[in-house]
Structure formats: structure tokens, C-alpha cells
Amino acid sequence: MSVIDETLLEQRWYTERLLLRAPQPGDAVHIYHLARDRRVSEMLLNMPHPYERYEADAWVERARVRIESGEGLPLVIVRRADDQLIGSVGLWPNYLHRRAELGYWLGVTYWGRGYMSEAVQTMIDFGFAELGLNRIFATYFTNNPASMRVMLKCGMVFEGVQRQAVIKWGEARDLGMCAILRQDWLRRKQP
């Protein structure tokens, strides 16, 4: 049984500068323009390059199906100031073990501005407060220290490196892993 359900297709999460929401069909064109930059796809295990428009359309459809089925919560990140879609963030829960994997990416133009930390913190808070999770983890390519900094800023703890754990574009790549436990999250929430 899943805690995520189709009502989340309409839910909105607001941060100081961002809106997180389920993707809509009209978002595909914006996702395509952001994701076709090689610098984005080279930091993500499952994003191809070149990234084609039909892949953005398919991603939006899969994201909506995953939300409806309770399989995951892939959301788009929209900058509130100008209603500009800037990336994606999501949780993929495993309810049996009360844990979820966190994933995210931003368009290159928006790197280094703290947007991702806002989005990631919102997903962590939702996972613990609303989904009843005990653990949220994320992995990153070790040549992407900015991703690790986002995780650490949001209270995640570095847990280690899986050497040559995945193949990206024909090359064995190391994955770093960070995680946060419910008890750590609760401690951070105390005044």
C-alpha cells in the first residue's frame, strides 16, 4: 500500500522562492531545453545525451503515472518570481523499509543559487512528516561535489563511496552516498 496517491497531482509545495508541483504536459518543452545541455545529463545516471524532445514528453507522462500509482513523486521545480521551470526533484519510496531515494537536477543557468537546497529540504520534510519515512538517501557522481554540498546543507550525512558502481557513457563511475534519518531530521527541527 502506498501513501502517495493521485491527489498529489494537484498538490503544490512552496518555498521562499520556488514552487514544486507535478509536471504538466506543457512542461515538456521547458524540460527539453534545460535537459539537452550535456552538462546536465553528464551528472545524471539515467538522462541520455543528446536529450530529444520526445524524451521530455515521455518523462512528463511517466512522472504523472508514477505519482498516480504511488511509485514515486517526481516533481518540477518552478521559480516563483517569473514562473520559470528550472529543474526537477523527486522521491522514490520503498514503504516496506520506510525509506526513499531522492533525486534532482537543475538547468545549468540556475546552478549555484541555492534553489536546489530549497527544493531538496522540502522533499526531505515531506518524506518524514507526511510519508512516515525513516531514511532518505541520495547518490551522486563523485566528480559532482556541488550535489554533495546540497545534501550536506540539508542535513544529510556522507556515508561513503561505491567504487565504479555504475556505467555512464561507457565509463565506470564512482557513486557517493549521503542519507538522513528521521531522528536526525527531528533533531534539526528542534528550536
Mean pLDDT, residues 33-62: 94
What per-residue confidence (pLDDT) applies to 6? Answer: 58
pLDDT per residue over 103-144, tens digit each? 999 999 999 999 999 999 999 999 999 999 999 999 999 999
* 187 in any annotated domain: no
CA distances (Å), origin 130, targets 90, 122, 176: 14, 11, 27
* 93 in any annotated domain: yes
* Rounded Cα gap, residues 188 and 186, in angstroms: 5
Lowest mean pLDDT among 68-72, 119-123, 179-183: 68-72
With cut-offs at 50, 70 and 90, classify the pLDDT of residue 191.
confident
What per-residue confidence (pLDDT) applies to 1? Answer: 33
pLDDT per residue over 13-27, tens digit each? 999 999 999 999 999
* 74 in any annotated domain: yes
With cut-offs at 50, 70 and 90, classify the pLDDT of residue 4.
low
* Rounded Cα gap, residues 107 and 122, in angstroms: 19
* 68 in any annotated domain: yes
H-run or E-run covering 160: strand 157-168
CA angle 10, 15, 16 (to 5 degrees): 140
Of 156, 86, 159, the residue nearest 128 (C-alpha): 156
What per-residue confidence (pLDDT) applies to 149? Answer: 98
* Rounded Cα gap, residues 11 and 22, in angstroms: 8
- Mean pLDDT, rounded, of the chain: 95
* 188 in any annotated domain: no
Residue 9 scores a pLDDT above 90: no
Mean pLDDT, residues 44-59: 94
Q: Count of H helices and E strands in the chain?
A: 6, 8
* 50 in any annotated domain: yes
Beta bridge partners of residue 174, listed in sequence order = none
Question: CATH number for the domain including 75?
Answer: 3.40.630.30
Threshold 0.85, pTM exceeds: yes
Domain range for residue 120?
6-136
Tally of domains within the chain: 1
Percent of residues, the chain, with pLDDT higher than 70: 97
